[in-house]
Amino acid sequence: MNWGNRLLLVFIVFGAGMFFLVYKSMSTNYDLVETDYYKQELRYQQVIDSRAAADSLSAPISFIQTEQVIQMQLPSEMKNQTLTGEVWFYCSYDKKKDKKFNLQANEQASQSFTNISKGDYTVKVRWAQAGKEYYSEKNITVK
């Protein structure tokens, strides 16, 4: 093989490599965490205060996982209380797996979740009790 054919082969491999990289970059999905992230950032001091309130409780939120159900347990101070809020199962690598639920804790301050796809999640729990707001995050892996 002479030097002209080698040079042509190098250009073809280089062009194919560039085409492949452009194709992969165009097909990559870049989802934002929140569509209104700027507005969320302005309210971040509320998250800090709510997280401090949740940290002052007797125990953190816990999650128990069985085959079909994920059971969330709030701290014991929340038992027999009227609670409002939301639970967000946030999957950082696939927006389609994200799930949001209204907080509907029972008298024992627990709630069950079903139909959560397998994967790694950050569970963001925001709730209010008697006018005081709480916020907690926990990383879980659904198997």
Position 44 scores a pLDDT of 85
Q: What ranges do the domains of the chain cover?
A: 1-29, 37-142
- Position of tokens 């709630």? 111
pLDDT per residue as tens digits for the range 113-126: 998 999 999 999 99
Q: Which of 119, 68, 113 is nearest to 88 (CA)?
A: 113
Position 15 scores a pLDDT of 96
Position 38 scores a pLDDT of 77
Residues of the chain with pLDDT under 70: 31-34
Position 92 scores a pLDDT of 85
Q: Is the pTM of this model over 0.85?
A: no
CATH class of domain segment(s) 37-142: mainly beta
Q: What is the DSSP letter of 59?
A: S
Quick count: other Cβ atoms within 10 Å of Cβ 29? 8
Position 1 scores a pLDDT of 79
